[in-house]
Each structure stands twice: as C-alpha cells, then as structure tokens.
Amino acid sequence: MTADPRFRVPLLFLSALAVHLALIPVLRVGGVAPDVMLLLAVAGGLVGGPVRGAVLGFTAGIAVDVFLRTPMGLSALVFTLVGYTVGIVSTGVLTPSWYLPILTASLASAAGVVLYAFVGAMLGQPMVSRRLVTIVGVVAVGNALLAFPVIRVVTWAMGADTGLVSDIRGRRARADWR
C-alpha cells in the first residue's frame, strides 16, 4: 500500500505544506524564508520530467494559494511553469553530476520568485520593489540548501522508475545524484 505513488504523493503534499506553513517561517533571514512548495515543483521537474513537474507545480501552487492574499491561481501558474521548464531542461542533460540539481534548484527558485513578482505586478499586485532582490537571494540560497533532501523525498514519493532522467535521444539513464 505505501509502495504505491498514489498514496505517497498526497502524503508528500500534506507533509510539505505543513513544513512550509509551520516550520519554514522560523528560518527567516531578513524577513524572508525559503519556499518549500516552489522547491517541490522544481524537484518534480528534476525527478519526473516536464509533465510530472508541471502537475506537482500546479498542485503545490494551488495548495499554497489557499493561504495567500494574492490572486488565486498565481502560485499555481508560476509553479506549473517552473516545474515544466525544469523538467524540459533536465531531460536534455546528458551527464548529470552531484551539484547540478542543487544549482538547478537555486536558479529555478530565483527565476520562480522573479516570475511570481512580475506576473503578480501584471495582475495589479505591488510586488516588484527593491526588496525583491533580498527575496530572490534568500529563496535561492535557502532552496539550494533544502534541495537534496526534498529531491530525495520526491524521488521516493514518485517511485523508483520516475527517478530516471532521459537524455536527448529518449534513452533512460540513471542520474548520479540519486
């Protein structure tokens, strides 16, 4: 029963949401905390490819949107785009190394925060300011530090087969970082 991803993935979401809402706010630096739900979308793209990254991103975004005062669906849209993009980029990597997922998590998290601010600004939310640089830096570094354990948990939740990374020609190759 617990070996089935249909049971593991909801458990992953509930756990990640609880950590995001209760534990991560304690880790604030300059009033900003890492974004575990965005990191979940990034890890989904790294582990499961573009489609699973987009699905994980959308679900994580909707789950966190319920607790935010921003327009409903803003996080879901941004996290979906980030998860899908990370999945596309990671499938093109022929020689994965141990540091690549951490670097990807950092860069994708930074890009996700910037995209979130700009899409929010287009929807009339005042999100683009000088403080955005601080937010991007803290989220990028914090998510990089949390990347390895989150990727391991996402790999466990999705099952062993989804921990494979495809190369450009469509063959399956095991990643070094697992």
169 inside domain: no
Residue 164 — very low, low, confident or very high, per pLDDT cuts 50/70/90?
very low
Residues shown for the chain? 178
Q: Quote the CA–CA distance of 113 and 29 in Å, as a whole number.
A: 16
Handedness of CA 108, 113, 117, 122 (dihedral sign): positive
171 inside domain: no
- pLDDT, tens digit, 9 for 90 and up, residues 118-163: 999 999 888 888 899 999 999 999 999 999 999 999 999 998 554 3
78 inside domain: yes
- Domain that includes residue 125, residue range: 5-18+32-156
125 inside domain: yes
23 inside domain: no
For 20, counting Cβ atoms within 10 Å of its Cβ (0-12 exposed, 13-18 middle, 19+ buried), the class is buried
101 inside domain: yes
26 inside domain: no
Q: Quote the CA–CA distance of 57 and 41 in Å, as a whole number.
A: 4
Q: How many domains does the chain have?
A: 1
Distances from the Cα of 57 to the Cαs of 87, 95, 159, in angstroms?
Answer: 11, 25, 18
Residues 6+ apart with CB under 8 A from 100: 93, 177
pLDDT score at 74: 95
pLDDT score at 89: 92
Residues 6+ apart with CB under 8 A from 41: 53, 56, 57, 60, 61, 79, 80, 82, 83, 86, 112
173 inside domain: no
Q: How many CB atoms lie within 10 A of CB 178?
A: 15
Q: Mean pLDDT across the stretch 72-101?
A: 90
